[in-house]
């Protein structure tokens, strides 16, 4: 089992990215963080940012409400812009859309190998569990998944993008939330499995 105390000062970081940082990436940030905490995983930090962030804005109300239904308080959240420093520091960058990868690459090209859409990353983590040569669960998972990139595609001609619900109807928000819910759970479960290994 991973020694959580060993990571105090050497944490692993998940960066989640969307456009405005008020809908999709805040949901991913808070839902992943909540899921990891529920599994007792404290060494992984989760942060979010937007490529065209509405800096200082709170989450959209439907996102706040969806999180609240799961007992998560997102009221203190404020949007921030994606920066090179955030990208460079992250062990993995999960995006709402494939198009966000180009902005990440523009800011810090070496990070491209560790950028995935949320749905792509979740799909690839489910293929086979990675080995843990250095005992760093998130980094090991990212390295494993990077080697699987391109081996599977979304079923039925679907896309890996999560629809942007900004200024949309409740139905649009629900589709976006439905597109993130299961991938978040899959990623949390994969990290929990790796972290619990002896």
Q: In what order do the strands lie in the sheet with 92-95?
A: 44-50, 12-18, 92-95, 115-117
pLDDT mean over 28-49: 97
| DSSP helix/strand/coil, 131 | coil
Q: Are 148 and 15 in contact (CB under 8 A)?
A: no
Is there a domain that residue 57 lies in? yes
Domain of 120 in residue numbering reads as 11-192
What mean pLDDT, rounded, does the chain reach? 90
Give the list of residues 6+ apart from residue 10 with CB closer than 8 angstroms, or none: none
Is there a domain that residue 81 lies in? yes
| DSSP helix/strand/coil, 44 | strand
Is there a domain that residue 197 lies in? no
Is there a domain that residue 5 lies in? no
Q: Give the rounded percent of residues in the chain with a pLDDT score beyond 90.
A: 75
The label of the residue with tokens 């089992």 reads: 1
pLDDT computed for residue 194 by the predictor: 83
Is there a domain that residue 1 lies in? no
Strand partners, 94: 16, 116
Total structural domains within the chain: 1
Give the list of residues 6+ apart from residue 140 with CB closer than 8 angstroms, or none: 130, 131, 132, 133, 134, 194
The 10s digit of each residue's pLDDT in 181-192 is 999 999 999 999
Is there a domain that residue 2 lies in? no
- d(C-alpha 1, C-alpha 19), whole Å: 37
Query: Is residue 157 predicted with pLDDT exceeding 80?
Result: no
Q: Are 88 and 37 in contact (CB under 8 A)?
A: no
pLDDT computed for residue 130 by the predictor: 66
Is there a domain that residue 4 lies in? no
pLDDT computed for residue 96 by the predictor: 98
Within the chain, where are the H helices?
Answer: 24-38, 61-69, 84-89, 100-107, 118-125, 137-148, 170-195
Q: Count of CB atoms within 10 A of residue 20's CB?
A: 20
- Confidence bin at 2 (pLDDT 50/70/90): very low
pLDDT computed for residue 16 by the predictor: 99
Query: Is residue 4 predicted with pLDDT exceeding 50?
Result: no
- CATH number at 111 reads 3.40.50.2300
The 10s digit of each residue's pLDDT in 68-116 is 999 999 999 999 999 999 999 999 999 999 999 999 999 999 999 999 9
- Confidence bin at 127 (pLDDT 50/70/90): confident
- Confidence bin at 136 (pLDDT 50/70/90): confident
Is there a domain that residue 29 lies in? yes
pLDDT mean over 38-42: 94
């Amino acid at each position: 089992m991973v020694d959580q105390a060993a990571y105090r000062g050497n944490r692993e970081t998940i960066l989640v990215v969307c456009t405005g940082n008020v809908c999709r990436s805040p949901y991913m940030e808070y839902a992943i963080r909540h899921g990891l905490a529920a599994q007792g995983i404290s060494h992984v930090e989760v942060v979010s940012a937007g490529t065209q962030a509405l800096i200082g804005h709170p989450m959209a109300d439907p996102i706040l409400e969806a999180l609240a239904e799961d007992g998560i308080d997102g009221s203190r959240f404020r949007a921030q812009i994606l920066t090179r420093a955030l990208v460079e520091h992250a062990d993995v960058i999960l995006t709402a859309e494939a198009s966000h990868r180009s902005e990440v690459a523009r800011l810090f090209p070496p990070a491209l190998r560790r950028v995935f859409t949320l749905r792509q990353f979740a799909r690839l983590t489910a293929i086979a569990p990675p080995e843990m040569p250095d005992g760093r669960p998130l980094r090991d998972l990212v390295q494993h998944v990077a080697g699987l990139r391109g081996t599977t595609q979304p079923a039925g001609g679907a896309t890996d993008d999560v629809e942007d619900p900004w200024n949309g109807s409740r139905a649009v928000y629900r589709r976006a939330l439905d597109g993130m819910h299961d991938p978040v759970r899959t990623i949390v479960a994969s990290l929990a499995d790796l972290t619990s290994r002896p």
